[in-house]
Amino acid sequence: MSTETSLPERAPPSDPRGRAWIEIRASALRENYRTVQAAVGPDVGMIPMVKADGYGLGVEGVVRALRGQGPLRWGVATVDEGLRLRELGVTEPIQVFSPAAPAERLRALEGRLRPTLSDLDFLSILTTESAEGRARGGSRGLVGRFDVEVDTGMGRSGFAAGSVADWAPAIFEGIRGSGLEWAGVFTHLHSADDPEGVAAGEAVGEQLRRFQTVLRQLDMMCGSAGRPLLERHVANSAGALRFPGEMSAFDAVRPGIALYGGSVGADTGLADVVAVRARVIRVVDVTAGTTVGYASTYRARKPETWATLGIGYGDGLPRALSNRGSAIVAERRVPIIGRISMDMTVVDVTGIEDLTPGDVATLVGTSGAVRISLADVAEEARTIDYEILTGWTSRLPRIWTED
């Protein structure tokens, strides 16, 4: 026999906290920005990465929160993301860090975005469009500035570090008289966030040696040996916070996950930015042997009390947390039991008194003295903070607060 309490009435449609939601602290976002800036020093520019809709939090809110901190420019991954910022009224420089697909390249030019050059085919498009725009006597399609990516070991994009003599002269020659400016050169660290500090340091050191060799060759090619010619940037969040001494020698850093309170492979004192909450929608007492969820993967071992939460994998809660993850209910950490459904998740709340539908559970964040960090959720789901953050769907309202 089981007894249950059901939700008395639906929250009003105007209440974004009716079922499940994400809380985002703008003040914590700015605090983390300042933490990265302090690590690398005041003379190093900041390029906050706001790709993937501001790491899943809503790019408009992220830009609004960070704009006053004076970023050098904004970093995105795709042309559409850059154009979206333009639609929002962003006038500052926007850099597209992933190579643009062929169909997107002209749109990048028209959107006044700062693209990344990773192949010589894109260079021909840049120069052709620039020349045609100049011939028409207008500015349509003129990029102005672009960056070159150098592959020092990541392997996914960029010009090979070991063959500068093959591609650099072609770029210098290709932009001659075009009105375009090769403004920057960068590489991407592949293991700066490795929890094993020694291994991370060795990998970062090797990539930096390769990159410095490229920089010396580029300086010599343009007749400016010993003087920086191109803006240079290397550091992601982990690079900036774990190896600030090495990264402060460059012109800019590109923090991403650190801004949003994620892990960089070491404790760096970052503030929590995100909390994910859901309402309790059902409370039921069950007898021993009662099963829950698809395939009945959990069976009550004794009389227990279960609470159903109004959140599931359709909201972005990883299904991998089934029978493994946890939530905070009444300031107690309680286990997720059974398989997570698309819209609902069940937790074992045995021993918690007076729990009723409408009470709030926390899936990520702090409730009272109890905390579930992004890193905790990622570990339980056997993935990384990035995937947890960017995986929340549009069904969850994003609620921005100052604190």
The set of catalytic residues is 51, 294
Query: In the block, which residue shows the tokens 């009470």?
Result: 359
Residue 216 CA from chain centroid, whole number: 32
Contact 250, 44 (CB under 8 A): yes
C-alpha–C-alpha distance, residues 206 and 202, integer Å = 6
C-alpha–C-alpha distance, residues 139 and 137, integer Å = 7
Secondary structure of residue 170 in the 3-state scheme:
helix
| Partners of 361 in beta bridges | 278, 329
Contact 149, 118 (CB under 8 A): yes
| Partners of 211 in beta bridges | none
Rg (CA), the chain: 25
The CA-atom distances, in angstroms, between 145 and each of 123, 176, 178, 185, 339 are: 12, 13, 11, 11, 51
Q: By CB neighbour count within 10 A (0-12 exposed, 13-18 middle, 19+ buried), where does 61 fall?
A: middle
Beta strands in 171-286 (DSSP E): 181-186, 231-233, 252-253, 274-286
- Number of other CB atoms surrounding residue 328 within 10 Å: 24
Query: In the block, which residue shows the tokens 């398989």?
Result: 339
Contact 92, 74 (CB under 8 A): yes
Following DSSP, what letter does each residue of 262-327 receive, concatenated? ---SS---PPP-EEEEEEEEEEEEE-TT-EESGGG-EE-SSSEEEEEES--GGGT--GGGTTT-EE
Contact 247, 239 (CB under 8 A): yes
| Backbone φ, ψ for residue 45 (5° rounding) | -70, 155
